[in-house]
Structure 1
């Protein structure tokens, strides 16, 4: 993984110019991770076709461009306030190093200088599922999070998923997030019990 943004923040916010990259593997393309933009809306909606209508907040169902645009604008507003740093995960094209198709999303929540813990989340676009995208994107985000915030106090990252989502559990395990506890259900966003995984900066 490589990144062009490893500056340590001096306050709770980072610029909307952060771009992270993961090198290609023998079976998967290189990835670009960068903040969401309004022009991503159509690809966002298309990438969610087939997502169940009762999907959790971690992978919301977006049936229209209006819903998608509202979601993107929320990500950008939350980035500006430092509440969450959400990245679109895109295929990096080989020919010119530009951006290809939308593959998914990763997010760092509640990270700030002096705060010891933060939370990560992710989802994969329906057409890109089962291709090993989520573990690589999450590992890239994790490395960036610790590089950026550990110098100011971040010690561990939390990852939560419902027990009904074994694929998410496998992603957590592949990226070094150790299962720690079962978390009681919290409807409506989390109607089932959850698994809490933790990865430590010194792990």
Structure 2
């Protein structure tokens, strides 16, 4: 069992540092507000519409940490909640590799936050840590999600396959990008 921890993403030449920190009850209103964004909801498999749903989601996040199967963080930039980041354990046969996922609030998009978090998490996963060892990491997204495709490419994730739709959870085709541990 892993206790929720904090990860830091250093500043870039044009952006401040990011903190990936455990979720808190005080984040519930911000999570609900983020999920009101039509653009974001279009790509999510699950949308949170109210504070009760957000509390249930936070309980799932805590359970994921306890089981070492889902490590989920709030992304903060200069004290403001700007997104969500998750590392999911492989779950054969559904997923064969450790996976990463994310969303950013509307005001934070286009600032490189997702790609900086993906790169930092990739380095951490390949660093020899023992919480969730990985030799291969996948990044999945709906084919039409050009922003996530750019994040994958920028972070060195190679397009491995186009996935068939799996309704109702995944009604559209998907991209499976992979990055392998360096030899």
The TM tier, using the shorter chain, reads 0.7 to 0.9
The TM-score normalised by the length of structure 1 is: 0.79
Partner of residue 15, structure 1: 3
2:97 is the counterpart of 1:110: no
Unaligned 5+ segments in structure 2 are none
The TM-score normalised by the length of structure 2 is: 0.87
Query: Relative to structure 1, is the Cα distance of residues 56 and 151 closer, same or farther in structure 2, using a 3 angstrom cutoff?
Result: closer
Task: Give the CA RMSD over aligned residues.
Answer: 2.3
SS in 2 for 1:29: coil
2:5 is the counterpart of 1:25: no
Quick one: higher RCO (CA 8 Å, sep 6+), 1 or 2?
Answer: 1
The CA deviation at 1:68 is 1.5
Report Cα offsets for 1:28-47 as digits up to 9, x if no partner: 22100022222211111122
- Alpha-carbon distance in structure 1 between the residues aligned to 2:34 and 2:100: 21
Query: Relative to structure 1, is the Cα distance of residues 168 and 102 closer, same or farther in structure 2, using a 3 angstrom cutoff?
Result: same
The CA deviation at 1:51 is 2.9
Partner of residue 44, structure 2: 56
Alignment: residue pair count? 178
SS in 1 for 2:62: helix
Paired residues of 1:55 and 1:61 also in contact (CA < 8 A): no
Partner of residue 5, structure 1: none
2:66 is the counterpart of 1:86: no
- Alpha-carbon distance in structure 2 between the residues aligned to 1:152 and 1:45: 29
